[in-house]
Amino acid sequence: MMGKIEKLLPMIGGATLAVASLSAVAGGGHSSHGNKPIVYGLIDISVLNHDKDDGTTAGTYDQFEVNSHASRLGVKGKAELSDGVSAIYKYELEIDQEYDNTGSTNFLKARTQYVGLKSDMGTIRLGRIDTPLKKSQGKVDIFGDHDGDIKNYMEGENRPKDTINYVSPKIADVITAQLSLYPGEDQASGNDGLADGSSFSVVFDQDGMYGAFAYDSEVDARDTWRLTGGFKMDQIALGVLVQGSEAANTPTDPDSSDEEMAWMVSAAYDMDGTVFKFQYGASEDENAAGTTVGERTNLSLGVDRHLGKKTKVYGEITSTNHEDTSVVNSTFTDTDVTMVGVGVKHKF
């Protein structure tokens, strides 16, 4: 038990020190104007039935669970400096209520964490930040952080820890560009440059119309492009996302696919605070020889009932199917998972 406590103390101490330091920067510096940090959070917990069948005795079960969906706690803010320049910061941690003091689950997980400067010329941030490609999805993934999240069946959902990020000011009030560079930080492999990886996006957003194109180069050892579109009018919101991703097989990961094609469509209808949601996505993986080695589908249906600006209750059902063939021994797996649950989400 003492060993587990010793592992947690540096994380908790680091978070406490960061909050204290940022508070001092925001409120105590001679060049600031007394801006105070904002403490915020989100608690999203559901009770659900988890039904899994992969054709084996060990991998087949039907059980009830209480799960957290990226519940989090953070602090953010800015300090007004001189000549229209502001210091900005954010430090966010995911908190998992499923931690059982055995070490089987991480109680705290790093989310977005950065410090930077903002001016009329744009914003520069350093830290752990979602890639521009990941952010370019906008709000079309309406089951984000839940079992229908696109991260469960397509590549590109990355939040690298070693990010140098620039966000442009709005161009003509409708277009925003974003670029991130990722230093290699691995001299032994030859990846030791300032931009061994990169990601950029161009986003159009005006009057309910949303469009984005983004590209990752050597991010998580993959090259990925993503095209996203969204439309919102009155109570209806529609979304579509298409992407392609490729990676080379390596000796340490011979089952990695060479190419992936993926897509997703979503729709939501808001009827006086009750939102009906639908989302369907699929992906297909091919190896270097052009042979299909993996197929994934994900169907999610849900109903949200908003009880106020910050609280909602919801019900969801998500059905997924994963079919995979091993490149090494040609074994085939077919896994079906159905998740049915209800939960409460509250922001503060």
Q: What is the pLDDT of residues 18-37, one digit of tens each?
A: 444 434 433 444 444 457 89
Q: How would you classify the pairing of strands 209-219 and 72-80?
A: unpaired
Burial class (CB in 10 A: 0-12, 13-18, 19+), 183: middle
Q: Is the pLDDT of residue 204 over 80?
A: yes
Give the percent of the chain with pLDDT over 70.
82
Structure confidence at residue 298 (pLDDT)? 98
Query: How would residue 133 be classed by pLDDT, with cut points 50, 70 and 90?
Result: very high
Q: Identify the weakest region by mean pLDDT among 14-23, 131-140, 183-192, 217-226.
A: 14-23
For the record, the structure tokens of 109 come out as 């997980």
333-336 long-range contacts (CB < 8 A, ≥24 apart) are 333/54, 333/55, 334/54, 334/55, 335/52, 335/53, 335/54, 335/55, 335/59, 336/52, 336/53, 336/54
Q: Is the pLDDT of residue 124 over 70?
A: yes
pTM for this prediction: 0.85
Q: Is the pLDDT of residue 8 over 50?
A: no
Burial class (CB in 10 A: 0-12, 13-18, 19+), 61: exposed
Question: What does the pLDDT look like over 210-231, one tens digit per residue?
Answer: 999 999 999 999 999 999 999 9
Q: How many CB atoms lie within 10 A of CB 334?
A: 12
State the average pLDDT for the chain: 87
Report all structural domains of the chain as residue ranges with CATH numbers, in order of start.
1-40+68-128 (no CATH), 130-347 (2.40.160.10)
Structure confidence at residue 254 (pLDDT)? 53
Q: Identify the weakest region by mean pLDDT among 21-30, 128-137, 194-203, 264-273.
A: 21-30
Across 86-100, 146-160, 282-296, the highest mean pLDDT is recorded for: 146-160
